[in-house]
Amino acid sequence: MNRIPVYWLQQIEADVPAESNWLSASEALCLSRMRFAKRRADWRLGRWTAKCAMAARLNLSSDFETLSQIEIHASSSGAPGVHCFAQPAPAVISLSHRANTALCSIAPLGTDLGCDLEMVEPHSDAFIADYFTAEEQILVAKASSAQQPLLVALLWSAKESALKALRAGLRLDTRCVVVSFPDGLLDEIALGENQSKLQEDPSFLPSAGLENWCPLQVRRDGGQVFQGWWQHAGNMLRTLVAAPPPAYPIRLEFPSNRCQFEDGHDKMIRTHLLRSHPISIS
């Protein structure tokens, strides 16, 4: 099966500069209209993470002037879109915020992509009954009491990723998508002793648990299927789904001023940007 390349970057609130001259003019105007500090902080964190991810993916300079030319905007569906140097970027992104942390994933243009960050915390039986399918409720019932918070967070996060990939978000009933895992993998790897070492890192830094992405699948009523991955450390987890199926997620590094091997999609992006704006890529 041919799989598409997917990339991700995570940032925390402390990574975001105090100044805002890395925003575009329209982004700065949008920020000025936000009244509440928490909303402003979350919005700036999301924009910063997305811009850093795009700059790292394209091997652009990390200076604020270049970042200000990467503009993140909301599409008609509410999903984030990207313009680079006033031109639509030939890539798609997905964003998620949770607990002063933001995650951005990137895939080739035309990909249905979604990602999500979720905290591992207790949920009520009513939550499980209201938002999970009968099939998923059986999975939760089979898990031990110690495993259930992680499993519930994982199921919920995978659903959110899939609903983002559908460009609908929580406007759709969460029970219209069903999360599943390869036979035996959930019990033997994901929820077993192999996770205990990762739980020693509650900060969930971007370098944590890079080798432990595990596969999942989300199926929508009507037959559409998303393949994806999930990763857990401490009290948080990441999920990422896409169609066509995504390859193993690749963590981006920022700032990134180094050259790297270019596949066909890399060349398409860089050629597009070079034609539309005379930038320097080292």
Residue spans per domain, the chain:
7-111+249-276, 116-241
The domain made up of 7-111+249-276 has a fold known as Ribosomal Protein L22; Chain A (3.90.470)
pLDDT the model gives residue 271: 42
- Which long-range CB contacts under 8 A does 107-111 form with residues at least 24 apart? 107/4, 107/5, 107/6, 107/7, 107/242, 107/246, 108/4, 108/5, 108/265, 111/4, 111/6, 111/242, 111/243, 111/244, 111/246
At residue 17, the pLDDT reads 96
The pLDDT of residue 96 is above 70 = yes
Q: What are the tens digits of pLDDT across the range 123-161?
A: 999 999 999 999 999 999 999 999 999 999 999 999 999
pLDDT digits (tens, 9 = 90+) for 152-162: 999 999 999 99
Between the CA of residue 38 and those of 13, 31, 43, 44, 182, what are the distances in Å? Answer: 11, 12, 8, 10, 39
* DSSP string computed for 91-117: EEEEEEEETTEEEEEEEETT-EEEEEE
- Contact (CB, 8 A) for 26 and 71: yes
Domain 7-111+249-276 and domain 116-241 have a common topology: yes
CA 101 to chain centroid, in Å, comes to 11
Handedness of CA 130, 132, 133, 134 (dihedral sign): negative
pLDDT in tens, 228-276: 999 998 899 999 999 999 999 999 987 643 333 334 444 444 444 444 4
For range 185-203, the mean pLDDT: 45
Q: Which residue has the tokens 């997917």?
A: 6
Q: What percent of the chain has pLDDT over 70?
A: 79
Q: Considering the chain, what percentage of its residues have pLDDT values greater than 90?
A: 68
Query: Percent helix, strand, coil in the chain (nearest 5)?
Result: 35, 25, 35
Confidence label for 210 from pLDDT (cuts 50, 70 and 90): very low
pLDDT above 80 for 197: no
Query: For the whole prediction, is pTM greater than 0.95?
Result: no
Question: Please, what is the average pLDDT of the chain?
Answer: 83
Q: Select 116-241's CATH number: 1.10.1740.10, 2.60.40.420, 3.40.190.10, 3.90.470.20.
A: 3.90.470.20
Say which range, 7-21, 37-51, 173-187, 259-273, has the weakest mean pLDDT: 259-273
The beta-carbon contacts of 35-42 under 8 Å, at least 24 apart in sequence, are 41/13, 41/16, 41/100, 42/97, 42/102
pLDDT of res. 260? 34
List, in sequence order, every residue forming a beta bridge with 82; answer none if it has no partner: 72
pLDDT bracket for residue 187 (50, 70, 90): low
195, pLDDT greater than 90: no
- Number of neighbours of residue 134 by Cβ within 10 angstroms: 9
pLDDT at 208 over 90: no
Q: Provide mean pLDDT across the span 50-72.
A: 95
